[in-house]
Structure 1
Amino acid sequence: MFKGLGGLGDMSKMMKAAKEMQDRMQQLQDDMEKLTVTGESGAGLVKATATAKGELTGLDIDPSIFQPTEKEVVEDLILAAIKDAQRRAQDKMQSEMSRITQELGLPADMKMPF
């Protein structure tokens, strides 16, 4: 179609690839809002659920840990579970970003804008 127009054919390919990457990244962002990960602490006594984007969506606490004298322990377990969920969310996001960059033929260590 662009034969004989010099570098315009290459420019068209680049624009098409850029649009494809933009569409894939938007789809990834949408998927990460729906995908959830669960972090836990205290051998599963406290579980925190978050989206793969890191937004906390749920907290499950085993009632056996509710002892008035153990308040600080419970608080520590809750924080640890939330941090674990956030770490898992970040790992999942990085894994998905890496997969997409490889599918698009981009360098695996290329940093995306989010």
Structure 2
Amino acid sequence: ETVEELLSADRAASVSRLRQKWITEELFEKWQQQAQLVCDVAGLRGHDAQLLVEAGITTKTDLEETDNTTVLQLVTHVSTTKEGQRILRDGQPPDATEVDRWKQFAAREDQKHAA
């Protein structure tokens, strides 16, 4: 399967086809949102997208329109949760410099990666 197929996949049908109880439509949607963010924001890493989606920042527009302080507060909160710790894998939570870098990535024009 390709990223393009993931992004265009019907959630319910995909979850049914995967036949894994732990894969819910909500989780599948998060995977789609994470993949879309990484495609839309060049330079954004997979775990960055995971943290952002968990924080409710699910699109490039969300990232562009949310001020840096709020983004930092949201991802800092996520970093303290069980899911955030799983995403970080003993790494450090993002700081203001990293959030600023994400915002700069999002502000670039014509940067969409091929899916």
Q: Under TM normalisation by the shorter chain, which class is it?
A: under 0.3
More strand by share: 1
* Structure number with bigger Rg: 1
More helix by share: 2
TM-score, L = length of structure 2? 0.25
